[in-house]
Amino acid sequence: MIAECENLIINRPILSVHTPKTAGTTLLHLLKRTVGSAAVLVDNADDPCNPASPRNLDPEGYFSNPVTPPPEFMVVHGHFHIHKYSALHPAFRMTFLRDPVDTMLSIHTFWQTFGYGHNALHDYFLKNKLNVLEMARLPILRHMLSHHYFGNVNMRMFDFIGCFETFSKDMEVLSLKLGIPIVADVHLNRINKEKQSDESECNAKTRTMLRDILIDDSRFYENTVSRG
């Protein structure tokens, strides 16, 4: 996975964990534009939020059989647990995080925009017309970061952890760390509008109740971000 593309040299493969509602689609676009679409593998096959994914159905089997991406890819980006690729060394490991309360509000809004058939968790949400508090109590979503995405992970193994709230600034830092010119000039207005919309539709009481429900993920987020 060490590759050269039009004078752009990357000496380590990049593993990019896309946690929900953190501008991951925008990041994917930027990575493809920088290194070329053919060099980016999108991996959503083992989504930690899908109850039927191998990561949830058979955790021991899943983690005991790490995989290595095909050599033609210099970037792997998607919804996966970082230990899926624990056999890959060296690698540049990165992710973006978002405040769990804002994440849950955004997921609740987004999940209402498409119909049945995505996965059992989403189907359950639609069938029962869950409000955001009821949705947040579902175990997979309640512990999305602290268990399903980053359970048993020493977050210091990541070379870069950015925040949705400071996406543009953090993309500049990421570009410097990687030594490649990633220009974050697309979709940023949409990201900011989405963030404002999610926040404006939730009153202070609901946010407090969500914070209590999501206490484990909130602590994980705060502890991880505070380490810089």
Fold adopted by 3-226: Rossmann fold (3.40.50)
* pLDDT tens digits for range 192-223: 555 555 555 578 999 999 999 999 999 999 99
pLDDT confidence bin for 6, thresholds 50/70/90: very low
Residue 150 sits at φ, ψ, to 5 deg, of -130, 25
Residue 180 sits at φ, ψ, to 5 deg, of -130, 145
Burial 164-194 (b: 16+ CB within 10 A, else e): beebeebbeebbeebebebebeebeeebeeb
* pLDDT tens digits for range 44-78: 999 999 999 999 999 999 999 999 999 899 999 99
Q: What is the pTM of this model?
A: 0.89
User: What is the C-alpha to C-alpha distance for residues 67 and 16, in angstroms, rounded to an integer?
Assistant: 15
Q: Give the contacts of 192 (CB within 8 A, at least 6 positions apart).
A: none
